[in-house]
Amino acid sequence: MQNLELKVRCLDAAMLSQVEALVCSAGATYVRTVRQRDTYFPTARARLKLREWWREDQTGATAQVGHRMANQTAGGLAQSGEGAEHSSDRGEEGAILISSLSQERAGARTSEYLVYPVREPVVLRALLSAALGVLVVVEKRRRFYRYGHTRIHLDEVKDLGSFVELETVIEEGITPGEASAEHSALISLLELDRLPVVPYSYSDLLSGRCD
């Protein structure tokens, strides 16, 4: 899969809420709110991370689901359907292993990635940690909206603050030019061009691997 991506930093949670208001007024569709824990492993070439997630916008056992994911060995099987790394979070919980390569450039960047569903994330996390070590762990709360072919992420990241991410998926039914046009139009609609661009992943920011 290929994405056209942009990440910007919000000064505080209030500014993130202002962006969310613009997202709603632009006609984007609310999808879900999730908690995510990304464990990154050191590799020579691609980024490799294990993503564990659980829904936060459901009633009943949501908190218990998150607690169980953190402490037990049973993880949900990622479901297909959206054709991207976030296709797995359509149920209440799950985990996926993601390998990604990104081409960095000013502003937006292009990312290519492979995704593999994981049934027992705690077991896999222990195995990879023992074999490779752990580079960094990123924990965040993510509110997810969809606009056309673009996923809008409103993120509150532990120890980093508030961010907005756009991921326009280049897939069947949309050309790279059309994807770029939608991406640029949404940046203007949400007034993201007024916010500082962050050309690094959350893992880079937390681990200090920024130029």
The pTM score is 0.79
Integer Cα distance of 207 and 9 in angstroms: 17
Once rounded to an integer, what is the mean pLDDT over residues 1-20?
93
Which pLDDT does position 189 carry in this prediction?
97
Q: Which of 171, 160, 190, 180 is nearest to 24 (CA)?
A: 190
Where are any strands of DSSP class E within 56-189?
Answer: 93-103, 109-117, 136-147, 150-157, 161-170
Integer Cα distance of 6 and 173 in angstroms: 21
Which pLDDT does position 106 carry in this prediction?
47
Reply yes or no on whether the pLDDT at 19 is more than 60. Answer: yes
Identify any residues that bridge with 147 across adjacent strands, giving them in sequence order: 150
Reply yes or no on whether the pLDDT at 100 is more than 90. Answer: no
CATH superfamily of 2-207: Hypothetical Protein Pfu-838710-001 (2.40.320.10)
Q: Are strands 29-41 and 47-55 parallel, antiparallel or unpaired?
A: antiparallel
Once rounded to an integer, what is the mean pLDDT over residues 80-96?
60
Q: Among all chains, which residue has been given the structure tokens 């962006």?
A: 19
Per-residue pLDDT tens digits for 48-85: 999 999 998 764 344 444 434 433 333 332 333 334 44
Reply yes or no on whether the pLDDT at 103 is more than 70. Answer: no
Reply yes or no on whether the pLDDT at 39 is more than 50. Answer: yes
Once rounded to an integer, what is the mean pLDDT over residues 5-27?
96
Reply yes or no on whether the pLDDT at 211 is more than 70. Answer: no
Q: What is the DSSP letter of 8?
A: E
Q: Which of 76, 79, 83, 74 is nearest to 54 (CA)?
A: 76
Specify whether the CB–CB gap between 92 and 62 falls below 8 A.
yes
The domain segmentation of the chain, as residue ranges, is: 2-207
Once rounded to an integer, what is the mean pLDDT over residues 90-105?
80
188-204: burial string, b at 16+ Cβ within 10 Å, e else: eebebeebeebbbbbbb
Q: Which of 29, 92, 20, 95 is nearest to 56 (CA)?
A: 92
Q: How many CA atoms lie within 13 A of 199 on its CB side?
A: 10
Specify whether the CB–CB gap between 27 and 190 falls below 8 A.
no
Per-residue pLDDT tens digits for 149-205: 999 999 999 999 999 999 998 887 888 899 999 999 999 999 999 999 998 889 999
Look at the alpha carbons of 18, 19, 22, 27 in this order and tell me if their dihedral is positive or negative: negative
